[in-house]
Amino acid sequence: MSNETPNKRMMTTCSNVSEQAHHVSRAKRGQAIGSIRGFRGCTVWLTGLSGAGKTSIAFQVEAILVNHGIAAYGLDGDNVRSGLNCNLGFSKEDRKENIRRVAEVAKLFADSGQICLCSFVSPFEEDRQMARQIHKMSDLPFFEVFVDTPLNVCEARDTKGLYKKAREGTIKGFTGIDQMYERPTNPDLVVITEYLLPKQKQLLFRV
């Protein structure tokens, strides 16, 4: 069995591939997307523990943006793992590949002029930096948002019962229980949902 990582194997396989340039500029594409003109393509990457509120925030922001004529799309961890990344597990290597694929997809959304809202636990700092670098290489804005919710609050919100299963040992390698979460060292924004009242949440989404 090869000792190469998936990324190394992919680089070897794709060595004869060259990137093709689009005939349409981002500025021109921005004029065609949404009712509000101008290129707004970027990726907003929400990271935090399971149950922190990442997807709830992302999907509500998505709805607000679209209702205001700004093209946006939310990528959720469970949704992506049920399709594109259904062949990946939760080892450190698979988690890295999961984030790499998502970052590449998000980059395409951003390049098309949309605001891509990514909701992923993404527990490792190096993987989040990789996602940022993927966008930087294409000169696309990338914003890391740390949804900072304490573990006990996440457990109390756990409608899927995942934390309970992790505590019982049914699930192994669950972030926050027997898998460390590396807090972002320099996020673009920190959101603390624990103390937000409903009206404050609405204000946050509109900001």
The residue length of the chain stands at 207
For the chain, which residues score pLDDT lower than 70? 1-19, 34-35, 37, 195-207
Distances (CA, A) of 25 to 21, 70, 98, 158, 189: 10, 18, 29, 44, 30
What is the model's pLDDT at position 16? 67
Nearest to 141 by CA among 48, 2, 26, 32: 26
What was the pLDDT predicted at 196?
Answer: 61
pLDDT of residue 2: 40
For position 193, what pLDDT does the model report?
81
Alpha helix stretches (DSSP H) within the chain: 6-13, 26-32, 54-67, 77-81, 92-111, 125-136, 151-156, 162-168, 198-206
Please tell me the predicted confidence (pLDDT) of residue 29.
Answer: 74
* pTM, 2 dp: 0.82
In this structure, the strands spanning 189-191 and 142-147 are parallel
Which of 70-79 are b and which e, b meaning 16 or more Cβ less than 10 Å from the residue's Cβ?
Answer: bbbbbbbbee
Give phi and psi for 152, each to the nearest 5. Answer: -65, -30
How much is the pLDDT for 30? 72
Q: What is the largest CA-CA distance in the chain?
A: 56
Q: Which domains does the chain have, with CATH numbers?
A: 26-190 (3.40.50.300)
